[in-house]
Amino acid sequence: MALQDKTSLLSLPLEALPGEGYRARQLAGWLYQKGARQWDEMTDLPKALRSEWAERFRISEVAEVMPYPSQDGSVKYLYTLLDGQKTEAVYMPYLNRKTICISSMVGCPAGCTFCATGRMGFGRNLTAAEILDQILWAAHHQGHAPREIRNVVLMGMGEPLLNVENVFAAIERMLHPQGLAMSPRRITLSTVGIPRGIYRLAESGLGVRLALSLHAPDDETRQQIIPTAHRYRIGEIMEAVRHYYAQTGRRVTLEYTLLRGVNDHDWQARALAGLFKGLSVHMNLIPWNPWEGAPHQGTPKAQILKFAATLEQQGIPTSVRWSRGRDVGAACGQLALKQPA
Ligand code: SF4
């Protein structure tokens, strides 16, 4: 049977893995704890059983993995999926805090003008298995057991809340004690602001962190840089965020990419602070990362720091997130399935 026609093991909930209780737990251990990428690594499973399962099931969703290491230690992974489509993830080995930024789609339908993925347009949603396999392959390539990667951010290609079923299924397997056994506090889902998806996340009980990429405090500016933003006004998004906060009590992270002369004015910093008054938030300002053919310029450092200071003065805790992996096209907003020069 061709690989694509076999049942994907990563697509199955942990409770639905093949085998009796003990064998299924062994298989889960090989997949999610030891990170086996081949049947013959699973040495404590009887050979006949491995052969039988290998006929019916597949372990991986990826046909090829190309790593692109950055000088700063991060690594961009370009994955070719079984149908030939491609997607990317970025591994960042922060001290004691191995982190991976993964994708939820091939391309993205949101079309943000400052993002190279948005320029590509939408390919397709990734399956839950394809979302998980980005973590498993990166861990394997780094020589780590999968559970050594303790932080996951869904902030790569795509809008996770437009692929809710698959993203939530993948997160369930990240959280499951027999899966990646991650803490929900170590998983961050980043959205450009899809109100119905934020409500679903609030009700899901998954308990993961929400990051909101607002990128402008007013609808007019926002619609200029996020062409699909006219579907959801800031007022609606804020209502959903307040609901999420009321349901979960979780602090919301804000992501804001600074674009010179577009969304980096002092009045916008004050308006932004006004929007989030009374909510527990943390603002990450992202200096824009350039890519070829982009219609934007980055905000100069002095204005970035001034924007940050204004937010702080208005009571919004703020950090500036200088991106990693710029030299290999792995920084925020640069993912475009291109091989670095
Ligand atoms: S910034 Fe995010 S939502 Fe916007 S186009 Fe890029 S990947 Fe999509």
**Number of domains the chain is built from:** 2
Q: Within a domain: residue 162?
A: yes
* Number of CB atoms found within 10 A of residue 42's CB: 21
Could you tell me if 126 and 241 lie in one domain?
A: yes
Could you tell me if 12 and 144 lie in one domain?
A: no
CA of 210 to the centre of ligand 1 (A): 15
Query: What is the SS3 assignment for the chain?
Result: CCHHHCEEHHHCCHHHCCCCHHHHHHHHHHHHHCCCCCHHHCCCCCHHHHHHHHHHEECCCEEEEEEEECCCCCEEEEEEECCCCEEEEEEEEECCEEEEEECCEEECCCCCCCCHHHHHCEEEECCHHHHHHHHHHHHHHHCCCHHHCCEEEECCCCCHHHCHHHHHHHHHHHHCCCCCCCCHHHEEEEECCCHHHHHHHHHHCCCCEEEEECCCCCHHHHHHHCHHHHHCCHHHHHHHHHHHHHHHCCCEEEEEEEECCCCCCHHHHHHHHHHCCCCCEEEEEEECCCCCCCCCCECCHHHHHHHHHHHHHCCCCEEECCCCCHHHCCCCCCCCCCCCC
Q: Which of 90, 115, 155 to mutate to test the pocket of ligand 1 (most atoms within 8 A of CB)?
A: 115
Tell me how far CA of residue 169 lies from CA of 29, 174, 206, in angstroms. Answer: 19, 9, 10
- Domain-ending residue, one of 58, 74, 96: 58
Mean pLDDT of 105-115: 93
Which candidate in 101, 108, 115, 332 is catalytic?
332
Ligand 1 atom, smallest distance to 105 CA: 7
Could you tell me if 141 and 12 lie in one domain?
A: no
Q: At a CB cut-off of 8 Å and minimum separation 6, what does 26 contact?
A: 19, 42, 44, 45
Query: Which has more confidence, 110 or 333?
Result: 110
Could you tell me if 220 and 291 lie in one domain?
A: yes
Residue 72 near residue 124 (C-beta atoms within 8 A): no
Expressed as residue numbers, the domain containing 16 is: 3-58
Residue 227 near residue 271 (C-beta atoms within 8 A): no
Structure tokens at 270: 């004050």
Could you tell me if 21 and 53 lie in one domain?
A: yes
Torsion sign across C-alpha atoms 136, 138, 142, 147: negative
Q: Which of 108, 231, 254 to mutate to test the pocket of ligand 1 (most atoms within 8 A of CB)?
A: 108
- Assign residue 308 the CATH number of its domain: 3.20.20.70
Ligand 1 atom, smallest distance to 159 CA: 3
pLDDT, tens digit (0-9, with 9 covering 90-100), for 41-97:
999 999 999 999 999 999 999 999 999 999 988 999 999 999 999 999 999 997 678
- Domain-ending residue, one of 58, 88, 105: 58
Q: Within a domain: residue 336?
A: no
Shortest CA distance to 234 belongs to which of 218, 256, 249?
218
Ligand 1 binding pocket includes 212 (Cβ within 6 Å): no
Ligand 1 binding pocket includes 110 (Cβ within 6 Å): yes
Q: Within a domain: residue 338?
A: no
23 CB-side CA count, 13 A:
11
Q: Which of 192, 291, 296 to mutate to test the pocket of ligand 1 (most atoms within 8 A of CB)?
A: 192
CA of 71 to the centre of ligand 1 (A): 25
Ligand 1 binding pocket includes 116 (Cβ within 6 Å): no
Structure tokens at 109: 């339908």
Ligand 1 binding pocket includes 157 (Cβ within 6 Å): yes
CA of 110 to the centre of ligand 1 (A): 6
Q: Within a domain: residue 340?
A: no
Q: Give me the pLDDT at residue 340, please.
A: 61
pLDDT, tens digit (0-9, with 9 covering 90-100), for 197-213:
999 999 999 999 999 99
Tell whether the model's pLDDT for residue 17 goes beyond 70.
Answer: yes
Mean pLDDT of 269-288: 94
CA of 191 to the centre of ligand 1 (A): 8
- Domain-ending residue, one of 58, 76, 92: 58
Q: What share of the chain in percent tops pLDDT 90?
A: 83
Could you tell me if 145 and 51 lie in one domain?
A: no
Q: Within a domain: residue 123?
A: yes
Please, which pLDDT band fits residue 20 given cuts at 50, 70 and 90? confident
Could you tell me if 199 and 300 lie in one domain?
A: yes
Query: Which has more confidence, 2 or 240?
Result: 240
Which candidate in 88, 130, 159, 255 is catalytic?
88
Structure tokens at 256: 């804001």
Q: Give me the pLDDT at residue 330, please.
A: 67
Q: At a CB cut-off of 8 Å and minimum separation 6, what does 267 contact?
A: none
Q: Counting every residue, how long is the chain?
A: 341
Ligand 1 atom, smallest distance to 226 CA: 4
Could you tell me if 27 and 97 lie in one domain?
A: no
Query: Which has more confidence, 102 or 334?
Result: 102
Could you tell me if 38 and 167 lie in one domain?
A: no
The reply to whether 332 belongs to the active site is: yes
Mean pLDDT of 179-202: 97
Could you tell me if 49 and 70 lie in one domain?
A: no
Q: Within a domain: residue 335?
A: no
CA of 37 to the centre of ligand 1 (A): 31
CA of 114 to the centre of ligand 1 (A): 8
Could you tell me if 146 and 289 lie in one domain?
A: yes
Please, which pLDDT band fits residue 271 given cuts at 50, 70 and 90? very high
- Assign residue 37 the CATH number of its domain: 1.10.150.530
Could you tell me if 42 and 159 lie in one domain?
A: no
Q: Within a domain: residue 89?
A: yes
Ligand 1 binding pocket includes 135 (Cβ within 6 Å): no
| Alpha carbon 135 to its chain's center | 11
Q: Give me the pLDDT at residue 101, please.
A: 96
Ligand 1 atom, smallest distance to 257 CA: 1
Tell me the C-alpha distance between 62 and 324, whole Å: 25
Largest Cα–Cα distance of the chain, in whole Å? 69
* Number of CB atoms found within 10 A of residue 317's CB: 12
The whole-model pTM stands at: 0.94
Shortest CA distance to 160 belongs to which of 114, 210, 207?
210
Q: Within a domain: residue 339?
A: no
pLDDT, tens digit (0-9, with 9 covering 90-100), for 231-249:
899 999 999 999 999 999 9
CA of 118 to the centre of ligand 1 (A): 5
Tell me the C-alpha distance between 150 and 302, whole Å: 34
Ligand 1 atom, smallest distance to 158 CA: 7
